C-alpha cells in the first residue's frame, strides 16, 4: 500500500538571492543566474528527500505566492487589501486602479523551468480567483465594472491552469489561504460563500478529468512563524471547502490543537470522488518532526478518513513570502524528508492490516 504525499510549494530562498533581490529588485535580469541556481539546487535537494512529487520551491515567484502574477502591473496602486499576521506585521495586496485586468506573468512559466531539471513529477501552485478578487476596490472603477473584472479574472485563471495542465504538471494546486481569513473578516459567512461561488465558477470550466488533477490548499497563513487566521474555527470553513468542485484538498492540520475534531469534520463532508491530503508537518514550528511522529499522525488520520482517499502534505509552504528567513532551507528539507519517511512507515502498517 502507498499513501500519496505532496509538498505545498515554497522553500526558503538562498540568503544570497534574498539579499540580491532586496538590493536590486526582483525583476532585475542580472539576477537570472541566481534564480536558476536556486531552482536547480531546490529541485536536487527536493529529490534527495525521496519525495515522490516535488516543486521548484517557488524560487522565482516575485515577492510572494499571492501576487506573483500581478506584481508590477501598471494599473495598480500599493495601498490594497491588508493581511495582518499574529506576529504583528502586515502584508498588503496591490489595488486595481483601472481596467482591464490581465496577469503580468503566468505560473506555467515557472513550470517550464522546473521541468528542465526535474526527474520526478512536478506540481504547480497557482493563486485562487477569490484571492485576486480582493484587488478590486470597494468603490467601482470608472469604465470598468466589477462584473467585467470578474469575467477577466476567471479568463486569466483558466488560461493559467490550462497551460499548467497541458505542460504536464502532476497537479495544479489552487492556493485558498483566504478561505479561513474570510471567516475572520466576515463571521456571517457571506464573504466565504462568495469566495466558494467564485472559485466554483472557475472550476466549472474544467472537465472531470482535469479536476482530478486540480487541488485546493487551505491553511491559516504562514509568514514569519505566524498566521493570519489561526484563531478561526475550522468548523466555520471545512463544510464549505468540500463544496468546491476539485478532486484534491490540502488541509493544514499539524499545527491544530484538536486534530481529531477536525478529522471528524473532514470525514463528515469529504465526498466520494475527493482525496484529502492532511498536513502532518508544521512549517512554522522550528522543531523538525520525527518520522515516527509523522507515522502516528497518518495512522490517526486513517481512523477517520478512508485510506483510499487519504494523502499527506505539509501544512503550508515554508516561505510563501520571499523575504521570510525565519525557516532555513536545511530545516525545510529535513521536515519534508520526515514527512516522506513517516508516511511510508504508516503505509506499511496500514498495508498489513
User: HEC profile for 282-346?
Assistant: CCCCCCCCCHHHHHHHHHHHHCCCCHHHEEEEECCCCCCECCCCCCCHHHHHHHHHHHHHHHHHH
Judge contact between 200 and 131, C-beta under 8 A.
no
| Residue labelled with grid coordinates 496591490 | 94
Judge contact between 215 and 173, C-beta under 8 A.
yes
Q: What is the pLDDT of residue 104?
A: 94
26 φ, ψ (degrees, to nearest 5) = -65, -30
Per-residue pLDDT tens digits for 101-147: 999 999 999 999 999 999 999 999 999 999 999 999 999 999 999 99
Q: What is the pLDDT of residue 353?
A: 53
Cα–Cα distances in angstroms (integers) from residue 333 to residues 44, 315, 317, in the given order: 11, 14, 12
For residue 193, give the nearest of 263, 150, 244 by alpha carbon: 244
Q: What is the pLDDT of residue 63?
A: 77
pTM (predicted TM-score): 0.94
β-strand pairing of 82-84 with 76-77: unpaired
Q: What is the pLDDT of residue 105?
A: 95
Q: What is the pLDDT of residue 208?
A: 96
Residues spanned by the domain of 340: 5-351
For residue 324, give the nearest of 185, 227, 179, 257 by alpha carbon: 227
E strand or H helix that includes residue 221: none
Q: What is the pLDDT of residue 22?
A: 86
Q: Quick one: cell of 97?
A: 486602479
Length of the chain: 353
Q: What is the pLDDT of residue 226?
A: 81
Instruction: Assign residue 62 the CATH number of its domain.
Output: 3.20.20.210
- The Cα–Cα gap between 149 and 130 comes to 12
Q: How many structural domains are present in the chain?
A: 1
DSSP for 66-108 reads: TTTTTTT-TTEES---EEE-TTS-EEE--EE-SSPP--SS-TH
pLDDT beneath 70, residues of the chain: 353
Judge contact between 187 and 221, C-beta under 8 A.
no
Amino acid at each position: 500500500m502507498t499513501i500519496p504525499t505532496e509538498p505545498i510549494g515554497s522553500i526558503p530562498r538562498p540568503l544570497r538571492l534574498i539579499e540580491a533581490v532586496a538590493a536590486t529588485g526582483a525583476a532585475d535580469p542580472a539576477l537570472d543566474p541566481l534564480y536558476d541556481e536556486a531552482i536547480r539546487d531546490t529541485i536536487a535537494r527536493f529529490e534527495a528527500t525521496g519525495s515522490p512529487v516535488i516543486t521548484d520551491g517557488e524560487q522565482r515567484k516575485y515577492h510572494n505566492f499571492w501576487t506573483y502574477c500581478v506584481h508590477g502591473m501598471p494599473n495598480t496602486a500599493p495601498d490594497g487589501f491588508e493581511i495582518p499576521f499574529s506576529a504583528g506585521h502586515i502584508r498588503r495586496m496591490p489595488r486595481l486602479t483601472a481596467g482591464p485586468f490581465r496577469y503580468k506573468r503566468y505560473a506555467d512559466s515557472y513550470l517550464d523551468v522546473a521541468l528542465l531539471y526535474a526527474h520526478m513529477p512536478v506540481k504547480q501552485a497557482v493563486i485562487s480567483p477569490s484571492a485576486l478578487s480582493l484587488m478590486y476596490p470597494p468603490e467601482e472603477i470608472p469604465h470598468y465594472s466589477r462584473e467585467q473584472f470578474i469575467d477577466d479574472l476567471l479568463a486569466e485563471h483558466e488560461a493559467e491552469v490550462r497551460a499548467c495542465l497541458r505542460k504536464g504538471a502532476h497537479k495544479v494546486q489552487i492556493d485558498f489561504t483566504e478561505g479561513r481569513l474570510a471567516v475572520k473578516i466576515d463571521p456571517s459567512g457571506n464573504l466565504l460563500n462568495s469566495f466558494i461561488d467564485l472559485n466554483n465558477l472557475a472550476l466549472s470550466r474544467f472537465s472531470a478529468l482535469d479536476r482530478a488533477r486540480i487541488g485546493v490548499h487551505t491553511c491559516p497563513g504562514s509568514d514569519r512563524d505566524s498566521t493570519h487566521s489561526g484563531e478561526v474555527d475550522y468548523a466555520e470553513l471545512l463544510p464549505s471547502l468540500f463544496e468546491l468542485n476539485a478532486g484534491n484538498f490540502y488541509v493544514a492540520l499539524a499545527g491544530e490543537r484538536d486534530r481529531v475534531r477536525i478529522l471528524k469534520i473532514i470525514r463528515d463532508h469529504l465526498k466520494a470522488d475527493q482525496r484529502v491530503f492532511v498536513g502532518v508537518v508544521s512549517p512554522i514550528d522550528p522543531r523538525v518532526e520525527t518520522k515516527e511522529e509523522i507515522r502516528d499522525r497518518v495512522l490517526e488520520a486513517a481512523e477517520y478518513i478512508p485510506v483510499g482517499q487519504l494523502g499527506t502534505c505539509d501544512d503550508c509552504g515554508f516561505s510563501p513570502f520571499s523575504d521570510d528567513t525565519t525557516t532555513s532551507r536545511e530545516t525545510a528539507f529535513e521536515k519534508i524528508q520526515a514527512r516522506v519517511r513517516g508516511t511510508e512507515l504508516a503505509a506499511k502498517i496500514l498495508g498489513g492490516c
